[in-house]
Amino acid sequence: MKAGRFRHFAAIDWSGAAGERHHGIAVALCSGGNAAPQLVRTGHRWSRGEVLDWLQSDLPADTLVGFDMGISLPFADRRAFLPGWADSPADAKALWALIDRTCADNPHLSATSFVDHPEAARHFRRHGGRQGDLFPGGQGRFRVTERAQAAMGCKPYSNFNLVGAAQVGKSSLTGMRLLHRLDGHLPVWPIDPMPASGSVVTEIYTTLAAMAAGRSAGRSKMRDHADLNAALAVLGSAGVPGTGPIADHASDALLTAAWLRTAAPDPALWSPPALTDEIARTEGWTFGAR
């Protein structure tokens, strides 16, 4: 990975919640150097469709875009995303297409029809005590990259778990619909090979950015400008204006954009030991997981 390959760095805190517009979506952007990251459309309540439009139409050139979501489902542990289903896809892009096709009638890039599908539902833990007969119990199935996150001290959740405040399954499934619609517009590393130039999307985990800024995994959320600016200073970034409380979705995005700026030139982060060609094609990877 050539140092200085990217000129801008964006971080998107994503949401899989029901409805059109979400307090939980935040988009932050910074350029090279050490200038403070900024929220895109400050105060705006984003829809998922608007984020897709921004990526397709308004993204600055040569931007590394980090999405806080899982870009695929576990595959390596069972040699299939959805074992037992004849239509289980062979790779991540086919999975995105299946989810988007199944949810074609779901508004706002939601993914209700996929988790309600009689075959897919067998693999998910859902609200109301509904647990599919093929959900393995416990924490559920994990991708190889999530095992790497855990080894670093993080506490990842299975993308097959749709229950609890910290679950990421809903946001990941809605995000996969967005990624399917981005196909041909922006490459998604490592599912797509890294191009020599242009913008690239990758998966992020905002806890990794917080840990790089000196915070523990258990204290990764920053809800005060002073805490955010102290973490930004560790990353060599100027602080953001303001005092007092700040929404953690905004602080996650702001800090992670600044972290991407410092982390992107590190070639080791683009070549983690466990990232094989097959893992790249099926499960993808979280940038920064080692």
Q: Which of 233, 231, 229, 234 is nearest to 220 (CA)?
A: 231
- The string of pLDDT tens digits covering residues 41-84 is 999 999 999 999 999 999 999 999 999 999 999 999 999 999 99
Q: Which of 118, 160, 163, 159 is nearest to 135 (CA)?
A: 160
Can you tell me the mean pLDDT for 30-37?
A: 97
pLDDT above 60: residue 2: no
- Altogether, the residues listed in the chain come to a count of 290
- The string of pLDDT tens digits covering residues 241-283 is 999 999 999 999 999 999 999 999 999 999 999 999 999 999 9
Confidence of residue 1 (pLDDT cuts 50, 70, 90): low
Task: Show the beta-strand stretches assigned E in the chain.
Answer: 8-13, 26-31, 38-39, 63-68, 125-126, 130-131, 188-189, 200-203
Q: Which of 128, 90, 115 is nearest to 16 (CA)?
A: 115
pLDDT of residue 129: 86
- The string of pLDDT tens digits covering residues 119-171 is 999 999 998 889 999 999 899 999 999 999 999 999 999 999 999 877 889 99
pLDDT above 70: residue 178: yes
- Residue 39 and residue 27 in contact, taking contact as beta carbons nearer than 8 Å: yes
Distance of alpha carbon 102 from alpha carbon 83, whole angstroms: 18
pLDDT of residue 216: 87
Q: Which of 251, 92, 274 is nearest to 172 (CA)?
A: 92
pLDDT above 60: residue 3: no
pLDDT over 90 percentage in the chain: 92
